[in-house]
Copies of this chain bind each other. A is one copy, B any other.
Amino acid sequence: MLLLLTYVNETNLNKGFDSIYFLKRRKMARNKIQKKTAYHHGDLRGQLIKAARDLIEQHGPDGFSMSDACRLAGVSTAAPYRHFSSKQDLLTEVAMDGLRRLGAEMEKQASDYPRGTVPSIAAIGRAYVSFAIREPHTFRLMFSTEPHSGRIDEVKQVGMGSYGVLLREVALYLSEQDITEAVLRTAFPLWSQVHGLSFLSIDGKLEVTDFPVDVDEAILIATEKLLPPHPPGQKA
């Protein structure tokens, strides 16, 4: 008890970090009531990822600084390194989180339509591009390789999980039982199309001419053209 008081006083004298310490005291009190949800800070790891997500969407991955995230979370600049080995490591976490959310949204949007049809596949495309437009910086981060060096396999696996949503839908369209080569050959151009459309959208290339591109229409038309004509006598 004596030690605690000494420490706090010393710190308050040294620098003007009172606010942080008051914050901390409040959180500690709350944690006691909430029956210890976490250690000192209360899920600093989670809050840092959240802070990073917010900051990245505001200023881009380049404009994002570890220091800013620390300020937002109310901790010292050294604290994050107990949870993430580096800034890149934190960014990788944000990227994988984004990939999972993207997969979930594609699945959800597809489920509004009869499975394995042009509309359900187009819905996946719209979910994809929507995500990119809603969170352009996170989207860019999700698909760039450089920042995730060392954990590429991990990211790739999460990404494949989301790609699987499209693959399954295409397999249904083709009436294939498995993810066969035919499914892959059909799905990839679709991915490529919406991926390109996403990047062109977030980089402001839809309005380079006098005829701005209607994203949803573009997705639907391209989907119809890129999918093989439906095998006769199958599906509705």
| A contacts, CB < 8 Å to B | 60, 62-63, 140, 143-147, 152, 156, 159-160, 163, 179, 181, 184-185, 188-189, 191-200, 202-205, 208-209, 211, 213, 218, 221-222, 225-226
Among A60, A160, A197, A202, chain B packs the most CB atoms within 10 A around the CB of A197
Q: Name the B residues within 8 Å of A197 (CB-CB).
A: 192, 196
Q: Is the CB of B189 within 8 A of A195?
A: no
Q: Name the B residues within 8 Å of A63 (CB-CB).
A: 146
Q: Is the CB of B211 within 8 A of A189?
A: no
Given the complex of chains A and B, what is the CA–CA distance between A63 and B203 in angstroms?
22
With beta carbons under 8 angstroms apart, the residue of B191, B208, B222 that contacts A189 is B222
> How many monomers of this protein are in the complex?
2
Given the complex of chains A and B, what is the CA–CA distance between A202 and B184 in angstroms?
19
Q: Is the CB of B184 within 8 A of A193?
A: no
Closest CB of chain B to A88's CB: distance in Å?
Answer: 10
Given the complex of chains A and B, what is the CA–CA distance between A179 and B198 in angstroms?
24
Q: Name the B residues within 8 Å of A146 (CB-CB).
A: 60, 62-63
Q: Is the CB of A211 within 8 A of B196?
A: no
